[in-house]
Amino acid sequence: MEFETAAQKTCHNKLAQWMDELFSDVPWEPLGHDPGFSLFMGSALAEVNIYPWGDDDSVVHISSLVVSGADLSCDLQTFLLKENAHLRFGAFALSESGDVLFQHTIVGSTCDPNELEASVREVLEIADDYDDKIVARWGGQRELDRPPGNA
């Protein structure tokens, strides 16, 4: 794994020290190819990526692919935007390929264990809850139902 900046490496090492304590109840592992971690909960997979933010800081971006292949109708997009207005952390988004995502970003240098845990668990819980709702109404596949290698 290569780091682009010293701040990115510092943040990654800090988070790595907290992972076992904060997430002992869910399967998790290092991403391997990029600085970060992946975690499973229910039918949701979240990635915690650490990206440089300038030369002196980093951001911790937590994201989950909620549904792939849904009918991206105006109705679904309106639903997602209205839900965003009521969520505590994070927001729904659409990827370039049309996947429904849920994501949240926090500042790396000021991140503490409570903030990391709250952000990651919120992303996992929202993705795990909403994937079934979206698939039932607009079709598509949850992350858990996608064939291996289609990430």
Mean pLDDT, rounded, for 42-57: 96
- Are residues 44 and 92 in contact, defined by beta-carbon separation less than 8 angstroms? no
Per-residue model confidence (pLDDT) at position 144: 80
Task: Name residue, tokens 């997979």.
Answer: 45
pTM, two decimal places: 0.92
pLDDT band at 44 (very low <50, low <70, confident <90, very high): very high
Mean pLDDT, rounded, for 112-116: 98
How far is residue 4's CA from residue 15's CA, in Å, rounded to a whole number?
17
Ordered DSSP codes for 25-71: TS-EEE-SSSSEEEEEETTEEEEEEEEEETTTEEEEEEEEEEEES--
Task: Give, as one character, the DSSP assignment of residue 98.
Answer: S
Per-residue model confidence (pLDDT) at position 5: 96
Per-residue model confidence (pLDDT) at position 151: 54
Task: Name residue, tokens 């639903």.
Answer: 79
Task: Give, as one character, the DSSP assignment of residue 23.
Answer: -
Kindly give, in sequence order, each residue whose CB lies less than 8 Å from that of residue 88, ignoring residues fewer than 6 positions away: 122
Mean pLDDT, rounded, for 84-88: 95
pLDDT band at 143 (very low <50, low <70, confident <90, very high): confident
Q: Which domains does the chain have, with CATH numbers?
A: 6-145 (3.30.1460.10)
Mean pLDDT, rounded, for 60-78: 97
pLDDT band at 39 (very low <50, low <70, confident <90, very high): very high
pLDDT band at 28 (very low <50, low <70, confident <90, very high): very high
- Are residues 119 and 90 in contact, defined by beta-carbon separation less than 8 angstroms? yes
Q: DSSP 3-state assignment of 134?
A: helix
150 pLDDT exceeds 70? Answer: no
Q: DSSP 3-state assignment of 102?
A: strand
